[in-house]
A and B are shown apart, each in its own frame.
Chain A
Amino acid sequence: MSAFSQLRLDGVSRRFGGQAALTELDLTIEAGEFIALLGPSGCGKSTALNCLAGLLPLTAGSIWQDERRIDTLPPERRGFGMVFQSYALFPHLTVRANIAFGLRMRRLPKEETRRRTEEAVRLVRLEDHVDKLPGQLSGGQQQRVAIARAVVFEPSLVLMDEPLSNLDAKLRLEMRTEIRRLHQSLGLTTVYVTHDQEEALSLADRLVVLREGRVQQIGSPRELHTRPANWHVADFMGYRNLWRGQVEQVDGARATVESSGHRLLGEVVGSLQTRADAVVAVRPEDIRVDGPGETRNAMSATVEVVEYQGRELAAEARTDTGLVLHLRTEQRIAAGDQVKLAVDPQRLLVYPADASAATDRQPDASGAAR
């Protein structure tokens, strides 16, 4: 096993016949870190992972493991483990043989192969299934085999490509904990690809958000959650309310924005000037319904659609000027109700709108972007 203290991606790019899938990814991974690559489908996160694995040749850039250049090595000589979305278990081999495969390839002594395979089987609690074929296992069990197979040879880096997306909601939560537990107990270095922001936030030490092949933001879960770097990241991190507006006044870190006839005060992220086009981002749970005493950013609206979601309700409301708001509340409201809504200026983020009209999801003035 070739442990490293640092893995450096240096301008890693991948183009497919003129189409850029990943552009100039710079990232340094410290040993022991859990990194999540996050983004919508087609953002280049899987391309990045495959480039790192060696399954996809780069079209520019280099990858360094400490002082050794590794992007020219074939995948089998990089010594990384990988867990695939579809599990990719060898259908003709038993669970035991699947897990032992990596050890066999390394030509370890028989006794050691057996011992370490047993250990890995115990680790993922599959003792009763070692002689079955993958086709006889449930999705969750197959996933455990895939994980055991990837970690059994103590790889210097484990790559996971949306490993939970084929599981049902309940199993997904269980496996999430399992993966974090394994990461800590085995002291792994993990790069994890997902499109699920919740999964990424709960698992990773650091998140890399990608969009259209470019890095948008690298940061801790907390940074990503509270301060997305631009409105695209905000959109992706669960800021469902994105309203287009115009800056009326900038006052240090705060700005006032006019959007559909409402004057909204919020925190500026990035650089903004008066009269510039802006995008206002608010999470549904940060909109308060009939909050006592809150007068800033107050709006009155009519509830239009209500979805029951257990402890909370998710609702869609429309103000008199036509601004559509998505909100979550524990209060009992029903379609047709008149409500007073308010947002704490600290929770209302103001971003510069992009110059390019090419982006497919510009929030429109009425806020009905979604």
Chain B
Amino acid sequence: MATTTHAPPARPPATTTDRRRRIAARPAAWVVWGVVIFFFLNLLGVVASVLVSSFGRRWFDTWLPDGYTTSWYARAWDEFALLQVIVVTLEVSVLVVGLSLVIGVPAAYALARRSFPGKRLIFLVFLLPILMPPITYGIPLATVLYKFGLAGHMSGVVLANLVPSVPFVILTMTPFIEQIDPRIESAARMCGAGLRTVFLRVLTPLLVPGILASAILVLVRTVGMFELTFLTAGPDSQTLVVALYYSMSASGIRAQQSVDAMAVIYTSMMLVLLVVALRYVNPTQLVAQVKDEPEH
């Protein structure tokens, strides 16, 4: 969920004062590290139990399954029509990323560069979809989309996912645009370039890192977005996370392990995205972009 911090650069290396504090506060340090390790152990347990279970032949009241197999994956693949689900997931994500960039980047530009009456109000309107829980606006949104016959298939899923994505692009792009000297654009115009040329020949190349970062962020969020997709998807427009939810809530019908297998597929997809994402953005950016100057 939401909202930005341009993660500030790391602090300079520890100084003598820091070192002294560390020694003085030894027991506190142990407690802190203990909590962190405990948290990670549990996290590991959560992820590993899904992973182990998905490869286990049978796993009842024991520490580990009594045998290993990969057959659950094949089963999950067929039972849940995973190929189609993954294709849908990719299609939705690519469309959402593309559209939100096309809509969001120009708006981010106008907001970063200009001041005009009502700017704060407009900023607030763009901020709202990020601040509100998806379920709150998702239900009226889904109702409207159904009314116009847009929900229940892919267009509804894409439209609904755009609602938080466009503001997200605006928020991530604004600092990137702000750090480009506006004089560079002025210089291009003085050289005879029109607005369109300035955008295509000067701004776009300079904004590539920002565009990549916000594209990857939107991608991760769209693949992981449950609520909005859940409310607007029809039977053939489910993304992986929604399909996973359905298979879980229908557990009992299907073997636990094949649900786990599906969860592992989802996890590995997310991890691949994560590895890619971390090449372009830092971890903090991935979760939150809190930009808390202008609108307060």
Contact = CB atoms under 8 A, between A and B. Distances in A.
A92 B183 contact: no
Nearest to B195: A74
B295 interface: no
A243 interface: no
B206 A79 contact: no
A167 to B, nearest CB: 17
B193 A76 contact: yes
A57 interface: no
A52 to B, nearest CB: 11
Contact of A88 (B186, B192, B193, B197): B186
Interface string B189-209: 111111101000010011000
Contact of A82 (B181, B186, B197, B205): B186
B187 interface: yes
A146 B99 CA distance: 37
A151 to B, nearest CB: 11
Nearest to A80: B190
B183 A101 contact: no
Contacts of B189: 54-55, 74-76
B202 A55 contact: no
Given A82-B186, A84-B186, A86-B181, A91 B194 contact: no
Contacts of B193: 76, 101, 105
How many A residues are at the interface, by size bracket? 20 to 34
Contacts of A81: 190-191
Contacts of A75: 186, 189-190
Contact of A149 (B191, B194, B206): B191
Contacts of A82: 186-187, 190
B172 to A, nearest CB: 20
Contacts of A159: 190
A106 interface: yes
Contacts of A79: 192
A90 interface: yes
B184 interface: yes
Contact of A90 (B187, B190, B192): B187
Given A88-B181, A90-B202, A106 B186 contact: no
A81 B188 CA distance: 10
A147 to B, nearest CB: 12
B191 A92 contact: no
A159 B190 CA distance: 10
Nearest to A158: B190
Contacts of A153: 191-192
Contacts of A86: 181, 183
B213 to A, nearest CB: 17
Contacts of B186: 53, 55, 75, 82, 84, 88
A76 B205 contact: no
A5 B193 CA distance: 25
B191 A88 contact: no
A150 interface: yes
Contacts of B202: 90
Contact of B183 (A77, A84, A102, A105): A84
Contacts of A80: 190
Interface string B149-175: 000000000000000000000000000
Interface in A102-149: 102, 105-106, 146, 149
Contacts of A55: 186, 189-190
A272 B171 CA distance: 61
Given A90-B202, A92-B205, A76 B187 contact: no
B139 to A, nearest CB: 41
Contacts of B187: 82, 84, 88-90, 146, 149
Contacts of A88: 181, 183-184, 186-187
B192 A102 contact: yes
Contacts of B205: 92
Given A74-B194, A91-B206, A101 B188 contact: yes
A90 B192 CA distance: 14
Contacts of A84: 183, 186-187
A106 to B, nearest CB: 6
B189 to A, nearest CB: 4
B164 to A, nearest CB: 31
A78 to B, nearest CB: 8
Nearest to A149: B191
Interface in A61-88: 74-77, 79-82, 84-86, 88
Contact of B191 (A54, A74, A101): A101
B183 A76 contact: no
Contacts of A85: 183
A76 B192 contact: yes
B111 to A, nearest CB: 18
A151 B173 CA distance: 34
A100 B71 CA distance: 63
Between A84, A85, A90, A149, the greatest number of chain B beta carbons within 10 A of the residue's beta carbon is seen for A90
Nearest to B183: A88
Nearest to A85: B183
Contacts of B181: 86, 88
Nearest to B204: A92
Interface string A178-198: 000000000000000000000
Interface of B: 181, 183-184, 186-195, 197, 202, 205-206
Given A80-B190, A102-B192, 4 more contacts: A55-B189, A74-B194, A82-B190, A90-B187
8 contacts: A55-B186, A75-B190, A77-B192, A82-B187, A86-B181, A92-B205, A102-B192, A153-B192
Interface of A: 53-55, 74-77, 79-82, 84-86, 88-92, 101-102, 105-106, 146, 149-150, 153, 159
Q: Which 6 A-B pairs have the closest CB atoms?
A: A105-B192, A102-B191, A88-B183, A82-B190, A88-B187, A75-B189
